[in-house]
Amino acid sequence: MLTPKSYNSDITELSVSAWFYRNRTIAGFDNPARSLYVSIRELVENSLDACEDERTLPEVSVFLTSEDNETTDAFSTGPQIFGLVVKDNGKGMRKEDIPVLIGKMLTGTKFMLKQNRGTFGLGGSLALLYGQVTTQEPIEVVTGKQGEAFGHRIVMRLDIEANQPIILQEEMIRKAPHESGTMVSYKLQGDWIRSKKRIVDYFTQTAIIVPYATLIFETPDGNVLKYDRVIDSLPVSPKAMKPHPRGIDVELLKKMVSKTRTKNMKSFMNNSFQRIGKSIAQDFLAYSDIDPDRDPQTLSQNELVELMNAFESYSRFLPPSPKSLSPAGTEVLLAGVKRLSPEIVVFKQRSPNVYEGHPFIIETGIGYGGGLESGINIYRFANRIPLLYDEKSDVTYRVVRDLNLRNYGLRQEDPLAFVMHICSTKIPYKTVGKEYIGDVDIVRREIELGFKDCLREVGNNVRKRNRVHRQKKRESKLAEYYNFVAATLSSALKRSVTDSKLFGFDGGVSD
């Protein structure tokens, strides 16, 4: 086996953070404008997760200030240095966890079969890495847990080549026992003018998908955007689940076998996978020709491959449990979309389905009229994250593009908002930047059926509204006609009209 010293002199080994430093564009850090937006998004999402994990109604404050000298300001064009502070009222962090969670990539609390905003364990650390490489300034973290009289303040840097944190300062700070939360502050390069609309859109759409949160954003322009919570209930919390047998590969199977404490295959099936009872375990082992009493750790490499293939071909497994998911819920979505002031709005939640062994739920909604802009507007969300870039590459855009609105009495130029939210333990993102969802057949089908279900109801409501409008217009024209006839007769007969109101005109005249 090769050791680092036995490498050829031309061979270089990169750490995870060093690799992403050299390839950060694939995660969205490809220019100062987009990098500023992604940095804010990643830290806000971490804050929202910290609050929801604690079952606390989120209060997240973001402060973005220009750090350049007096000759420049927030209205200057081109890249500048900004100070970014993100503060939340979440559960806080333990002192020993701060350097690992903040300063080391591919570490986190989200690598489990449970719905999370985060997917790769990269976003927050990459945002901080970007700040360091563009300003060479350290990162400051202040955090505290509820019930404790002291919190912690840590100033640190990232050792990019070693993927390790470097602690520069560390101190305990006094706080009130009822206070909790985390504040992260650092400096980074950004382009506010080019990213302003996108960042404001992000906060607006986040307020739609998390209407139970209070969001405050202080801009470099000196403006303060505040989105107050409109409901006081959190969505159901997802639960961590065991793996489903479908979608298991050999490497994961080997890992599960090496860690199991069970002494026979029947117990291994019962205890290691979700939704496998004794009868299904017995039937599957008979199907795959494996002795139920055999010790799982005696399986050879070829037998593990055969076991994996049997998982894929066996037809009696129940679908994955949706308990690992936390859909937004139609009430939450309705409360959030009311911020857009539509005249008509309909939301539908599809039944759970499965993609590559992972459960997912699609929620779709359509708003019509009111304060909506004319034409089709698409709002995409994944695990309660707004998706703002690469819209035309997203499966939602393609589904909406192919819908025949005329079948529902609607037109392309009508003021329409299409809202799609997918929640899953594995979102089929096409990039590490998490900006658009791939055109997966089963996902496309669920989105299409959800939108069509909404369109039928919206179309019926619009037709009813149009009928009422036409009836009122007809009555108005009849009233004008009656008044004209009454006035004409009154003039011809030289008599005054006693009553010519709509439906009250009786032709009566007096001397």
Residue 34 pLDDT > 70: yes
- 3-state helix, strand, coil split of the chain in percent (to 5) is 40, 20, 40
Q: What is the pLDDT of residue 201?
A: 96
Q: What is the CATH number of the domain that holds 68?
A: 3.30.565.10
pLDDT tens digit sequence for 294-351: 999 999 999 999 999 999 899 999 888 888 899 999 999 999 999 999 999 999 999 9
Same domain, 36 and 170: yes
pLDDT tens digit sequence for 484-496: 777 787 777 777 6
Q: What is the pLDDT of residue 505?
A: 46
Same domain, 180 and 292: no
Residue 266's domain comprises 250-313
Same domain, 201 and 56: yes
For residue 434, report the phi and psi dihedrals to the nearest 5 degrees: 55, 50
Between residues 73 and 482, the one the model is more confident about: 482
Same domain, 309 and 337: no
Residue 66 pLDDT > 50: yes
Q: Under DSSP, is residue 142 helix (H, G, I), strand (E, B) or coil?
A: strand
Same domain, 58 and 176: yes
Same domain, 285 and 406: no
Amino acid at 449: L
Cα separation, 225 vs 218, in Å, equals 6
Q: What is the pLDDT of residue 369?
A: 93
Residue 9 pLDDT > 90: no
Q: What is the CATH number of the domain that holds 399?
A: 3.30.230.10
Q: What is the pLDDT of residue 412?
A: 93
Residue 3 pLDDT > 60: no
Domain count, the chain: 3
Query: Is 498 a member of any domain?
Result: no
Q: What is the pLDDT of residue 226?
A: 97
Residue 421 pLDDT > 60: yes
Q: Say how many C-beta atoms besides its own lie within 10 A of residue 4's C-beta.
A: 7
Q: Say how many C-beta atoms besides its own lie within 10 A of residue 54's C-beta.
A: 17
Q: What is the pLDDT of residue 7?
A: 56
Q: What is the pLDDT of residue 23?
A: 73
Q: What is the CATH number of the domain that holds 273?
A: 1.10.8.50
- pLDDT tier at 498, thresholds 50, 70, 90: low
Residue 478 pLDDT > 60: yes
Same domain, 308 and 339: no
Same domain, 277 and 406: no
| Residue 272 near residue 281, CB atoms below 8 Å | no
- pLDDT tier at 122, thresholds 50, 70, 90: low
Same domain, 260 and 334: no
Same domain, 301 and 409: no
Residue 500 pLDDT > 60: no
**CA distances (Å), 434 to each of 80, 297, 382, 385, 389, in order?**
25, 38, 9, 9, 9
Same domain, 329 and 351: yes
pLDDT tens digit sequence for 426-470: 899 887 677 899 999 999 999 999 999 999 999 999 988 877 677
Same domain, 43 and 188: yes
Segment 393-402 shows an average pLDDT of: 96
